Amino acid sequence: MNKTAKQTLALASIFQSSSLVQQLASTGQCDSHSNKMSLNSIVIDSDSIDEIFTSPEDLQIGFNSLKDVLEKKSIDMHNVMLYVTALINLEKKLMKKPQLLKLITTEIELINRQEFFDINHSNSIARLAELYKNTLGSLSPTIMVRGEQIYLSNQKTANHIRALLLAGIRAVSLWKSQGGKTWHLLLNKKKTLQYIQSLAN
């Protein structure tokens, strides 16, 4: 797998987490398969993007969202782009806080070892949400999620959103490990779209 392909997969992973957050905030539900794959990426101990997401279907929501943004086809992507940008900025701040990073890594290793619950279980999601709240949630500015108050005020939905934001941070870290940079979104637009199209074919 070439560099463009790996970067595109990792970038799609950021867009997928952000899109799932948007789905939850606006409808209280999200795509179940994509959700499981994004949450699962948090606890997989690998920096190889193609080991974490083994099939294009695992990132279908992410590919669709990324394609919509690059082709400027949808006006509904505004919030998703806000979350993507905020996650990239938040990850940058986290890298300057080694103690927080160590705390996150240690807790994720602990969750991974215990395996009491599936990653989709509400207990696992609550634990990931608490980890996000106590670490990344303390960094300023916090990510402001926009949506319907009836869903945002629901504790289970709020936990789920925080867990997916943690998955988004993991995705940003993967993207950067593949050499991803923000300006690539503009300069590599054609290559990225070609790769997404090749998967569709």
pLDDT in tens, 34-76: 999 999 999 888 888 888 998 889 999 999 998 888 887 666 7
Q: What is the pLDDT of residue 183?
A: 67
Instruction: Kindly state the average pLDDT of the residues 108-135.
Output: 85
Q: What percent of the chain has pLDDT over 90?
A: 58
Cα separation, 110 vs 85, in Å, equals 29
Specify the number of domains making up the chain.
Answer: 1
183 or 152, which is more confident: 152
Domain range enclosing 151: 3-200
Tell me how crowded residue 183 is: count the other CB atoms within 10 A of its CB.
Answer: 7
112: amino acid identity, one letter: N
pLDDT-derived band at 6 (thresholds 50, 70, 90) equals: confident
In three-state secondary structure terms, 116 is: coil
Q: What is the pLDDT of residue 166?
A: 97
Q: What is the pLDDT of residue 153?
A: 96
Instruction: Kindly state the average pLDDT of the residues 83-90.
Output: 94
Q: What is the pLDDT of residue 5?
A: 83
Q: What is the pLDDT of residue 69?
A: 85
H-helix segments, the chain: 3-27, 32-43, 49-52, 60-70, 78-94, 98-114, 122-134, 149-152, 155-177, 184-187, 189-200
Q: What is the pLDDT of residue 101?
A: 93
Q: What is the pLDDT of residue 115?
A: 63
Closest CA to 118 of 38, 191, 10, 40: 40
Whether 77 and 68 have beta carbons less than 8 Å apart is answered as: yes
198 or 40, which is more confident: 40
**pLDDT digits over 94-106, tens only?**
999 999 999 999 9
Q: What is the CATH number of the domain that holds 160?
A: 1.10.3890.10
pLDDT-derived band at 186 (thresholds 50, 70, 90) equals: low
